[in-house]
Amino acid sequence: MSTTTTATATATASSSSSSSSIPKSTVSSAVINQGGMPTALQSAPARCEFRGGIEAYCTAASSVLAEEDGILVVCENSANRNRVVEGAKCAGLEILEVVGVKGKETRVECLFDVYVMKKVGISSGGDDDVAVASRIATTTTTTEISVRDKEGQWTSAYADVLEAMSIPAHNLLA
């Protein structure tokens, strides 16, 4: 169930070496699907749709991605999978891979998904909408990982993700 909550957020910042401040900005509404309004101004836009939903992010990315090798990686709540697919399609993006992420192996549902996308390659002959939609639907691979196992320890798959980000993790596994 999606509810729209009206919220006001203001931001000011000052440094000890300067008396300048960031202009105040007001957000008139945000889409909150679960939980309350975030209180941290820096992280709130990552948790609520203050700056547009996944559809707007797909459209913005598509306008600047390189045709040949531009890649978009974006996370979205697993409850919004249909919105991601539709947003990608409308923006001319092809979903190459989806990684569903569970907080714990025992959970049935994923918390969020990580999507890897690229611009749909248009051949010199010009593809029609049906051909483009067909490619989008047939090229996606989907996997799932869990952050923690039944005992609450990091899984090997999650440790692999951390290691890929240069965060030592495998040495911490039991």
pLDDT in tens, 11-21: 333 333 444 45
Spatial separation of the C-alpha atoms in residues 95 and 69, rounded to whole Å: 14
Do 88 and 158 fall into the same domain?
A: yes
Do 78 and 163 fall into the same domain?
A: yes
Do 44 and 96 fall into the same domain?
A: no
**Residues ≥6 apart with Cβ < 8 Å to 36:** none
Do 56 and 46 fall into the same domain?
A: no
Segment 101-122, tens digit of pLDDT: 999 999 999 999 999 999 987 5
Indicate which CATH number applies to the domain containing 93. 3.40.50.150
Segment 48-57, tens digit of pLDDT: 777 788 999 9
Domain limits for position 146 = 52-172
Do 15 and 58 fall into the same domain?
A: no
Do 13 and 97 fall into the same domain?
A: no
Q: Is the pTM here over 0.85, yes or no?
A: no
Do 67 and 148 fall into the same domain?
A: yes
